[in-house]
Chains A and B, each alone.
Chain A
């Protein structure tokens, strides 16, 4: 499902940084997560989610770091990470807007909402606004169909949106 990431990750590969950008706190939280499972590898997706929360996206350094923390090969980390839609390899804006485009939202106007949003932000899917404030992506059903059309900005849901009301919503995010 995310094969297209392969090329991108390759391109973003950089020389490993000598000084780790990953905090001690992150190391501790990953270590704590491993305790919940009979096998350290099970903490892989939780660890990747933690890093993405901190950095906004994953890169080669993240893959190496997690591989080392969990004592598994980098290829396994990348194999897993490249499978999941919500793990990304591109820098994101300070706020990530996910617009649902699945059926219930589509029936109630998701497509016009997306069109309006693209115009308003001036960027396409996966791109970051020039001020670094937002990036946006489409997403499959987020289980908010009772508030269709619905979106997720960072961890917050917003529903029953119109092209007008989405502008007010965006203003809440600086």
Chain B
């Protein structure tokens, strides 16, 4: 497949607008402005594009919900929080091709009737912050942003809003709270942001990668675009592969590429000639799979059918030396730290999960602890205010389902001989 989202990634200095324009940046803005906003929304609907931030919500439908709400003031937010552990796909666009994102946002703003956009950028991406600020400045200077874009009477202002370290701010309503200057705790939905979002105005929130697809949908037309990848979720997909592989990195592949091809062909296979033990296909909050699942296609429906999720496309690989209790403890330590504290099941539940993992990793686990973990998960499942808690229990449930023997080795009273190493992850 010819690269789309990553087409300028290897072009030196593509973050500079002159270079980017030479390689096609902003070429679709004029065309998009010639299309009526409602037709543009329909085009995105017909393209079949589904959100790349994790939930896979149809982008065109989200836009339509917002576009239909009457009102002059609407906002377009780009979710560049990229906080899901293992995820670094958006970073390539943010650091190496910011103009692709800006072009996508200008077009999206026109489609939904938003004249103001914000890129909510995680604090852990300071390099991207500088690059984006400069790219936005250049886009203003060239008349792609501002009061009268390309002399066509379209207005769109854009700025970067930096976060300050909080995974929960990737959740769309927490992101809005944080943008407004508050603690990043989720809002109840409904009302959905499409009708009442930032400053209670109709708001669309899309992931970086979702917005980066927009110029290509305009360029190719919905029909041609929809032929790429999987019929149920067309388009290219960015995968970020890390862990025990020879060639970790970001790869643009058609949606529906198998895990085997992603891991063995693109990421170079397992390091040091070892065997794959487990793979997390879509970031920390998606259920782990095993070597038996390597032929599953990485797309929303296929991974769902296999008991996991596409999530953010962050593929984390564990080799046969990994202890899945240790791996899961690291993730639970993360979720416990990042639970925002708003709802009891998530705040207390992740705390209890981590306590039990501490006990197990300290060599003081009891045989009942595995069932105890499962019962804590039941107290979280379906009871949380936002999806963070639900995500937190996925590694626990899946690691116990697939690797219960790892747990049993830890709690049998004899230990596994690696306690020393294990204790180091306790913090």
Verify A143–B124 contact, CB threshold 8 A.
yes
Nearest Cβ on chain A to B120's Cβ, whole angstroms: 10
Verify A146–B249 contact, CB threshold 8 A.
yes
Verify B341–A148 contact, CB threshold 8 A.
no
Q: How large is the interface on B (under 10, 10 to 19, 20 to 34, 35 or more residues)?
A: 35 or more
Q: Contact check: which of A86, A115, A152 meets B424 at CB < 8 Å? A: A115
Q: Give Cα distance in the complex from A127 to B331, angstroms.
A: 25
Give the residue among A42, A103, A146 with the most B Cβ atoms within 10 A.
Answer: A103
| B244 nearest in chain A by CB position | A107
Give the residue among B124, B181, B243 with the most A Cβ atoms within 10 A.
Answer: B181
Tell me whether B222 is interfacial, beta carbon within 8 Å: no
Tell me whether A12 is interfacial, beta carbon within 8 Å: no
| B179 nearest in chain A by CB position | A42
Complex contacts, B185 vs chain A, CB 8 Å: 83
Verify A155–B183 contact, CB threshold 8 A.
no
Hey, what's the 0/1 contact readout for B167-178 against A, CB within 8 Å counting as 1?
100000000001
| Chain A residue total in the interface (Cβ 8 A) | 49
Hey, what's the 0/1 contact readout for B157-195 against A, CB within 8 Å counting as 1?
001011111110000000000111111110000000000
Contact residues of A between 37 and 60, Cβ < 8 Å to B: 38-39, 41-46, 48-49
Verify A39–B126 contact, CB threshold 8 A.
no
Contact residues of A between 71 and 110, Cβ < 8 Å to B: 72, 76, 79-80, 83-87, 101-104, 106-108
Quick check: which of B84-92, B363-371, B404-412 contacts chain A, the rest being far away? B84-92
Verify B240–A146 contact, CB threshold 8 A.
yes
Contact residues of A between 113 and 156, Cβ < 8 Å to B: 114-115, 138-148, 152, 155-156
Verify A84–B180 contact, CB threshold 8 A.
no
Verify B181–A80 contact, CB threshold 8 A.
yes
Tell me whether A19 is interfacial, beta carbon within 8 Å: no
Hey, what's the 0/1 contact readout for B110-126 against A, CB within 8 Å counting as 1?
00000000100011111
Give the residue among B85, B316, B427 with the most A Cβ atoms within 10 A.
Answer: B85
Nearest Cβ on chain B to A151's Cβ, whole angstroms: 11
Verify B85–A103 contact, CB threshold 8 A.
yes
Verify A102–B242 contact, CB threshold 8 A.
no
Quick check: which of B60-68, B332-340, B372-380 contacts chain A, the rest being far away? B332-340
Q: Contact check: which of B162, B183, B240, B421 meets A145 at CB < 8 Å? A: B240
Nearest Cβ on chain A to B42's Cβ, whole angstroms: 30
Known: A140-B85, A141-B85, A142-B124. A45 touches B240 (CB 8 A): no
Verify B243–A104 contact, CB threshold 8 A.
yes
Give the residue among B249, B250, B322, B425 with the most A Cβ atoms within 10 A.
Answer: B425
Verify B330–A102 contact, CB threshold 8 A.
yes
Known: A83-B183, A143-B125. A46 touches B425 (CB 8 A): no
Q: Give Cα distance in the complex from A45 to B123, angstroms.
A: 11
Verify A41–B248 contact, CB threshold 8 A.
no
Q: Give Cα distance in the complex from A138 to B316, angstroms.
A: 20
Nearest Cβ on chain B to A83's Cβ, whole angstroms: 4
Q: Give Cα distance in the complex from A49 to B124, angstroms.
A: 12
Complex contacts, A107 vs chain B, CB 8 Å: 243-244, 316, 318, 322, 327
- A-B interface, 4 closest residue pairs, ranked by CB to CB distance from nearest: A86-B165, A145-B242, A84-B164, A44-B181
11 residue pairs from A and B, CB less than 8 Å apart: A38-B199, A46-B161, A83-B184, A85-B337, A86-B124, A102-B334, A106-B327, A107-B244, A140-B337, A141-B84, A145-B87
Q: Beyond the given A80-B183, A85-B164, A156-B127, please list 16 additional residue pairs across the A-B interface where CB-CB is below 8 A.
A: A1-B340, A49-B164, A83-B340, A84-B164, A87-B164, A103-B334, A104-B242, A106-B327, A107-B316, A111-B425, A141-B85, A144-B88, A145-B243, A146-B240, A148-B242, A155-B126
Residues of chain A having any CB pair with chain B under 8 Å: 1, 3, 36, 38-39, 41-46, 48-49, 70, 72, 76, 79-80, 83-87, 101-104, 106-108, 111-112, 114-115, 138-148, 152, 155-157
